Amino acid sequence: MDMSSDMAGGRASTAVREISYAEAAVLAVQREMEADPRVVVLGEDVGRGGIFGQYRGLQQRFGAERVIDTPISEAAIMGAGVGMALAGLRPVVEMRVVDFALCGMDELVNQAAKNRFMFGGQGRVPMVARMPGGIWDASAAQHSQSLEAWFAHLPGVVVVCPATPQDNHALLRAAMQCGDPVVYIEHKGLWGARGPVDESLQLPLGRAATLRHGDALTLVSWSRQLQACHAACETLAAEGIAVELIDLRTLWPWDRETVLASCARTRRLLVVHEAVQAAGFGAEIAASAAEATGCRIARLGAPRIPVGYSPVLEAQSRVGAERIAEAARALCTPRASPL
């Protein structure tokens, strides 16, 4: 994997260690809490480390006044986070999973996202709402949703979807330093994934990463779906099809410059995401590329069905490497000339 673009705009050091996606998140929150006493954490079960271990050890280190266990009420948690932010704190609000965040949508949509605009910048909401998303193995329709397009559609918030331990560390720190509300969507299936993490590497929000370089096709994705994209790229490379693979990382603002420059060069774009294809964020990327470059475009996403509980039904909502490779081959096949 070519990680050169990950290092661009960042500050690298030799202090690299291999840790999990969840451990990278704990380290990010710890470092920001050490650096800024205004950073607090609130949510259900955060005191015992969170259901994925993404806060492990933090309450023991910083105390129950900064790592705050809350009642089971997402509306209260989100509302309290908004109030804390307006009062000068920098809260990290834990929703457990994005599916549960729906109970706190009014506070996010009508309060956090709009305060800066409606009050002429007098108030800011520097809040990070962590909402683990995506398919959670054998967890069925109410615990396996990919709703990032909802939040990308919402003016006033930043939307981040990290795919690696390194990105989860660097982008979570960037999110906690942001002056506006950030919807931070870690994938439920990535917590145990391990990879190198350089604590000193700083990544800006809104910057994509080019993971592979190629001239046959631009492939854009994010979050856990990149695993299937990597596998498809390996298959296609063996067939002589060189794919340029881009991890969007931040859905809003998204890195138009990197994506459109690649599309202009390859003249082909395939956008792949785990979320339902209908009205997914891939459509925004596809439309933008069509308007700016006129390249050939295809999209791949899940069918418009709830995620099933059984493995057979759950598999119907997954976009695998074979489907991605097939769609890429079709894009790279010259169109038949009209009669």
Tell which of 198, 217, 238 closes a domain. 198
Tell which of 176, 198, 220 closes a domain. 198
Do 151 and 255 have their domain in common?
Answer: no
273 is catalytic: no
What was the pLDDT predicted at 339?
A: 57
Do 72 and 117 have their domain in common?
Answer: yes
User: CA–CA separation, 76 vs 94, rounded Å?
Assistant: 12
What was the pLDDT predicted at 107?
A: 96
What was the pLDDT predicted at 334?
A: 83
Q: What's the token pair of residue 162?
A: 């990290």
What was the pLDDT predicted at 14?
A: 53
Tally Cβ neighbours within 10 Å of residue 304. Answer: 11
Do 77 and 124 have their domain in common?
Answer: yes
What was the pLDDT predicted at 337?
A: 57
* Burial label, 54 (beta-carbon count in 10 A; 0-12, 13-18, 19+): buried
Do 18 and 152 have their domain in common?
Answer: yes
**3-state DSSP call for residue 169?**
helix
Residues of the chain with pLDDT under 50: 1-13
Q: Which domain holds residue 90?
A: 4-198
Identify whether 336 is part of a domain.
Answer: no
Closest alpha carbon to 38 in 160, 156, 176: 176
What's the CATH code of the domain at 42? 3.40.50.970
What's the CATH code of the domain at 282? 3.40.50.920
What value does the mean pLDDT of the chain take? 93
Do 104 and 190 have their domain in common?
Answer: yes
* Stated pTM of the model: 0.92
Counting the structural domains of the chain, the total is 2
Q: Which of 143, 169, 187, 230 is catalytic?
A: 143
